[in-house]
Structure 1
Amino acid sequence: MPMKRRPVLKGIGGTVAGLSLAGCMGYFTGDDTSPLWHEFTDSEERTFESHLETFTEETDHDLEASGVSNMQDQLETALPAGDGPMSFTWAHDWIGAQHEDETLYDASDSIDVDLEGTYSEAAANAVQWKDNVYGLPYAAETVTLMYNKDMVEEPPETIPEMIEIMESYDGDDQYGIGYPGDAYHFSAYLQGFGGVLYDEDADELGIDDDAVVEGLELVRDSIYEYSPNDLNKDPNLSVFQNGNAPFVVTGPWNLGGLRDAGIDVGVAPLPAPEGGEPTPFTGVQMWYFTSRLEDAEDDVHDAVLDWAEWYTTTEDVATTNAQDHAMIPVLDSVVGSDDLGSDVDAFSQSVGMGMSMPASEKMDAVWDPLESAIDVVLGSGGDAREELESAAEQIRGSWE
């Protein structure tokens, strides 16, 4: 399976307050047979519980749901054994690998939704793989810049403008920015000068291209030095949450928790580097259908599919998720609404700059070598070109 982008945030002395990624509806212990699994943050889960309650009231179905930690690990163990959920929520980029693992259920003949007539084109395409429909979409997402309004009057539009602000806060237990150091979060600038980490359509690896080398050098020279000099997510979120940094780069899943922690958070498009444009990976969140639906009782099978259809086509769900959690709607009847708020507008601008995460199983071999190269360059002072070329050689070798 692909890289995990949102692991549980375990920090020194405990979990970052309000930003835990596992929910409270129940944790997987090995015998959990809840049809629905999720890894929502605390604030997202409260909204999800409300939606599930409404669904139960409006239908004859009564579904159980469980918040799980380490979704990838749990699925890799449960689904091949015939256990685990019948539906779970995650971004679309797992679809290719799970197709190869035969852990998904093709609902082409079971759903009543006209994909192309209901959702945005990108969302409708994201839930399909090799002529199979493996789930239904409910939101688009990416990472963008968040800023503390008590520290920043106007968000920067360019990297030089951001550097000027970061320099004024860097030092004395303060930092210029919190920026989790993985390939997903850095993708905006790794691909910011025209490079592409992996071109799925052309089936070409690009991490050793000059443009990507330039992007990694930008991160090293203009961003990372103002961070806690730690690639882990927790310290980078903590410095912003504790009021010790004016900026953080993260996704909508952490917005509610940061505000619950008392930070007056503003959301802005990613600042542009000189001579380039941030190009982050984007994802489509979806309710996946798993192979457990093949042998499910008819009432359970129908309940799970009805849930996915209801959740992804109910305008109130899409609007509430957007207003409360900056989840970008993909439901055509809600897309572009004036009632979604400035947070969604900022995330939408960053999505508009970005490119869809590759869903091919070949991307699985890219994440770890690329992140190892980033670690050496940022953490140990390695040469960007040498490390990316070495990673590319390793990836191409694994493909063969």
Structure 2
Amino acid sequence: MNEKRRTLLKTMGGSTALAALAGCISTGGDGGDGGDGGDGGDGGSSDGSDSSGDENQGTATLWTDLSDGEDEAMSSYVDEFESETGFTINKEAPGGELDQQLETAIPSGEGPDSWIWAHDWVGRFAVREEPPFLYDASDDIDSLGAYTETAQQAVQYDGAVHGLPFASETVALFYNEDMVDEAPETLEEMVSTMEEFHDPESGEYGLSYPVADPYFTSGFIQAYGGDIFDEENLEVTLDSDACKRGMDALDTVSDYVPADPGYESQIVAFADGAAPFAINGPWELANLQSEIDNLGVAPLPTIDGNNPRTYSGIQTFYFSAMLSDADQSTVDATTGLAEWYTTNEDVIETNAAEQGYIPVLSSVVEDGDLSAEVEAFARQVDHGVPIPTHPDMNSVWTPLTEALTRVFNGNQESGPALDQAASEIRENL
């Protein structure tokens, strides 16, 4: 299935390569020089004894896949952790779709000890039994109470702790302050401005927005109070009247984006100054600030007085089932990095300032000293809803993506498209 909310953006035109979502981390850094990485014993989990140097306390493998700015920062932090603790972290980028790589690597015993992605895979992987995909670290960590309540809940399933959280994320409105004076507060104001700039024949558009991606479009679809998936009652409610009203609003803004709804075509239009607005996430903040001199961020405009209810994710260090058979030194290295990174106030505050990460470490959240950009994303998170973690949500992404694509291409009206998607989802449950 295609449930990715972000994809790696290749270099296009005159723009710097921009990367979409932060699901994981880096390929760089010298952390892998101290051990044998994925070739170690226990199926990719090195036990520390194979690493060179007498001071190595244990070795663990981390799979990552972030944007360039995030990658560089994470590599630096991992190096710092290694220097302070004597652990060795082999940072690897498996390539391709991360979930697909995990689906192959873990059953074969070649998976990582940890990986980084949003919290919505917790339920999907927690119910796997043969083979198991996640490790319960309840007895190995003592930092769970340091995070916000929402973040604590996001990394747990059925009482087990399957990871540690370090940031929340959702999509909000980017705007080019050289093109518009201020962010629109209502959808009507936004449409008026988009109409002014939209001229596709001249390569200019009103909006940059991956309108065929359910994660990005969730705010519009759920703006009138409907839920794409009702996790409390385990019901598919995508075809509700409320969701259809939201879909109509989405259809309105879709008229102002480039003809290719894919992530790459959309973000490049905004980065090149060919659109006044973009709807995207904090993972693009550092990249876009390097492209646009005067970049603003605001919550999404209201729709008939309603705040768009965007899906939000909690970025998480996952604990892999590979740890179940690993030496204790590998468990210590894996959980040690996660706890060090997610509870380090300097790390969290720097990431908020430089990467746009929305803190979930309670002490930093309570301090309230965040940049205007991060505050804007945080306000949108307050309007949104966490991505459901129930395994049934896994059946939602592809039918909804296909419905959004049909509507965008003019092959189906929005109402029937949601009816069809809801029917397909129910059949797949």
Is the structural similarity TM-score above 0.5? yes
User: CA distance change for structure 1 residues 277 and 357 in 2, over 3 Å: closer, same or farther?
Assistant: same
Matching of residue 258 in structure 1 with residue 288 in structure 2:
yes
Counting only pairs closer than 5 Å after superposition, residues 68-79 of structure 1 correspond to structure 2 as: 68-69=94-95, 70-79=97-106
Once residues 20 and 245 of structure 2 are traced to their aligned partners in structure 1, the CA distance between those partners, rounded to angstroms, is 34
d(CA) in 1 for partners of 2:266, 2:279: 9
Q: Matched residue of 2:106: which SS?
A: helix
- Once residues 100 and 287 of structure 2 are traced to their aligned partners in structure 1, the CA distance between those partners, rounded to angstroms, is 24
Contact 2:10 2:18 in 1 (8 A): no
Asked if the contact 1:147/1:265 (under 8 Å) is kept, the reply is yes
Which residue number corresponds to residue 150 of structure 2?
122
Deviations for 1:88-119, whole angstroms, at most 9, x for unmatched residues? 11011001111122200001111122x2x311
Aligned to 2:418: 388
Structure 2, unaligned stretches of length 5 or more?
Answer: 45-59
Instruction: Give 1:194 deviation, angstroms.
Output: 0.8
Partner of 2:4: 4
Structure 1 residue 262, shift from structure 2 partner: 4.0
Q: Pick closer, same or farther for the CA change 1:387–1:258 going to 2, 3 Å.
A: same
> Which of 3, 24, 28 in structure 2 is aligned with 1:25?
28
Distance 2:427 2:237 in 1: 14
Once the two structures are superposed, the pairs formed by residues 153-168 of structure 1 within 5 Å of their partners are 153-168=181-196
Instruction: Show CA shifts across 1:19-61 (max 9, x none).
Output: 377744289x986946111111100111112211221222121
Is the CA contact 1:37–1:67 (under 8 Å) kept in the aligned structure 2? yes
Deviations 1:115-147 (A, max 9, x none): 2x3110000001100111000111111011111
What is residue 134 of structure 1 aligned with on the other side? Answer: 162
* 1:381 shift after superposition: 4.1
Inter-CA distance 20–365: structure 2 relative to 1 (3 Å threshold): closer
Is the partner of 1:36 in helix, strand or coil?
strand
CA distance in 2, matches of 1:15, 1:65: 28
Q: Are 2:26 and 2:74, in contact at CA under 8 Å, matched by a contact in 1?
A: no
Are the counterparts in 2 of residues 36 and 88 from structure 1 also a CA contact under 8 Å?
Answer: yes
Distance change >3 Å, CA 184–CA 16, structure 1 → 2: farther
The 2-side partners of 1:142 and 1:377 are apart by 23
Cα distance, 1:314–1:11 mapped onto 2, change above 3 Å: closer
1:290 aligns with 2:293: no
Equivalent residue in structure 2 for 1:96, among 104, 119, 123: 123
Aligned to 2:266: 236
8 Å Cα contact 1:9/1:15 also seen in 2: no
* Number of positions where the alignment pairs a residue of Structure 1 with one of Structure 2: 395
CA distance 1:260–1:11, shift in 2 (3 Å): closer
* Percent identity (aligned): 41
2:127 is paired with a residue whose SS is: helix
Amino acid at match of 1:125: Q
Measure the CA separation in 2 of the matches of 1:30 and 1:314: 27
Structure 1 CA distance, aligned partners of 2:16 and 2:250? 25
Identify the residue that residue 409 of structure 2 maps to in structure 1: 379
- Unpaired stretches in structure 1, ≥5 consecutive residues: none
RMSD between aligned residues:
2.1
SS in 1 for 2:196: helix
Would you say 1:41 and 2:71 are equivalent positions?
A: no
Q: Is residue 346 of structure 2 the alignment partner of residue 319 of structure 1?
A: no
Instruction: From the superposition, tell whether residues 53 and 12 of structure 1 become closer, same or farther in structure 2 (CA, over 3 Å).
Output: closer
**For residues 187 and 312 of structure 1, what CA distance do their matches in structure 2 show?**
28
Shift of 1:17: 1.6
